[in-house]
Amino acid sequence: MFTAYRRWIIGLFGALAVLSIVFTTRIQFSFSFDQFFPQGDEDLEFFNQFKKEFESDDNFLLIAVQNEPDVFDSVFLQRFHSFSLDVRNLTGITQARALTQMDFPVKTPFGYSAVPAIHTDNPEFYVADREKLLGDDRIVNALIDREATTLVVACKTVDEIDLKMSDRLMTQIDSLEKAYGFDKVYKLGRPYFQKELVDFQKREIMVAFIASIILVTLIMFVLYRKPIGIAISLGSIALGLLLFMGVLGAWGRTLNALSALYPVLMLIVGSSDVIHIFSKYTDELKKGRNKELAMRITIKEIGMATLFTSVTTAIGFATLLTSKLPTVREFGINSAVGVMVAYITVLLFTTSMLSFFDRNQIIAERENTKKAGGIRYCRDCTFSQPESPFRSGLLSPCFS
């Protein structure tokens, strides 16, 4: 009965794997400090009200461009000035200012007049401009460094700039840097932090996944020492993780700072289920039962045991929904779903794959011998004498 549907089950999981790859590419990463504060917190409410009245204090982006030996070079100043003007037109930028755009008011007998902060087109004024700028504490280490090797473009961005807009903005800035030939450019601000932190989250997930796969591979090698058994184990665990990420993508969930724990969680839960199924199935085959009967017994006994284990584990993660932190609640419900995805994958896919192979194909036999009275005894030895009085017991004298 079971073997009649195993090919259909494997094909179904293959189709689900393809869909999961598609949905995994749609997973978004979130960047919001609000998710690390409990909802209803008085301080958070005060902060949000403050932002409504006075705007956010992180809606900025600073772009520092370095030039050696100093910035007072006509070619560099022309390029920097054009660059600062082009930055104004980028996505998410509402204002962009730099010293090459600024003027100082000067009182004259005829009223106030504007004098450029840097006479970009007049190198003869560079010495005076340098002395004036480096003597102004309002400007030094804000728009120019004290060694006069770096100029800064101070940009104001839209409030609460999202990750998608930040990615687009940083890509445009990188393109401008290459177009103007700047070698050393440094950035600071919310758009840059968003992009870098999301990239960091992605790296953490990959590192956690690779490290966990290596560890699980070593464990499976020690347990089974057969390529087919190891491949089925790792394939089942990896498939469970892929399906879980596909579910998150189809569900429209976003990944946050705790997302790096998902690969580790799935590998731990998946490995436990796989080892239990493997052990029971091989034990039943060792008793002489055929593959169909051995798998039925495995699913009936171990399948129910792992089901209760998975359900109780999922309920444990689901209790995190009582937390006031949105990040923790999301982690709890996602983890609960992941535990059940791992269980279903192992129960259906792993058992279907195992049913194609005999015991000696998926697990290495270990020598189980004992010696008594100078005679070597072993289990079910074909060289045992028929008339041996030990024949009816577990051990028979071996003369091989």
Q: Is 203 within a domain?
A: no
Q: Is 108 within a domain?
A: yes
What residues make up the domain containing 349? 6-30+225-362
383 and 310 in one domain?
no
Q: Is 168 within a domain?
A: yes
341 and 269 in one domain?
yes
257 and 176 in one domain?
no
Q: Is 52 within a domain?
A: no
Whichever domain contains 299, its CATH number is 1.20.1640.10
pTM over 0.75: no
374 and 355 in one domain?
no
Q: What is the DSSP string of 91-160?
A: TTEEEEE-GGG-EEEEEETTEEEEEESS-TT-GGGHHHHHHHHHT-TTTBTTTB-TTS-EEEEEEEE-TT
**How many Å apart are CA 301 and CA 312, to the nearest integer?**
17
80 and 165 in one domain?
yes
Q: What is the pLDDT of residue 98?
A: 93
Q: Is 277 within a domain?
A: yes
**How many Å apart are CA 380 and CA 384, to the nearest integer?**
8
173 and 74 in one domain?
yes
100 and 171 in one domain?
yes
393 and 337 in one domain?
no
Q: Is 214 within a domain?
A: no
329 and 287 in one domain?
yes
Q: Is 212 within a domain?
A: no
Count of beta carbons in the 10 Å neighbourhood of residue 165:
16
Whichever domain contains 73, its CATH number is 3.30.70
**How many Å apart are CA 171 and CA 10, to the nearest integer?**
42
| pLDDT tens digits in sequence order for the chain, 400 residues long | 456 788 899 999 999 999 999 998 888 777 666 666 776 777 777 877 887 777 777 889 999 999 988 899 999 999 999 999 999 999 899 999 999 998 888 777 777 788 888 988 888 999 998 999 998 888 998 899 999 999 999 999 988 888 888 889 999 999 999 999 888 999 999 889 888 887 887 787 788 778 877 887 888 787 777 788 888 888 888 899 899 999 998 988 888 777 778 888 888 888 888 888 888 888 888 888 888 888 888 888 888 889 999 999 999 999 998 888 888 888 899 999 999 999 999 989 988 888 887 777 777 665 554 444 444 444 444 444 444 444 444 444 444 4
Count of beta carbons in the 10 Å neighbourhood of residue 339:
28
Q: How far is CA 374 from CA 91, 371, 386, 399, in A?
A: 86, 6, 20, 11
Backbone angles phi and psi of 396, in degrees to 5: -130, 145
CA angle 119, 134, 145 (to 5 degrees): 95
Q: Is 10 within a domain?
A: yes
Helix (H) or strand (E) holding 397: strand 395-398
302 and 174 in one domain?
no
Percent of the chain surpassing pLDDT 70: 88
95 and 190 in one domain?
yes
How many structural domains compose the chain?
Answer: 3
Backbone angles phi and psi of 70, in degrees to 5: -155, 175
The encoded tokens of residue 9 equal 């089950």
From first CA to last CA, the distance across the chain in angstroms is 41
**How many Å apart are CA 156 and CA 147, to the nearest integer?**
25
The answer to whether 98 touches 143, Cβ cutoff 8 Å, is yes
pLDDT digits (tens, 9 = 90+) for 38-52: 767 777 778 778 877
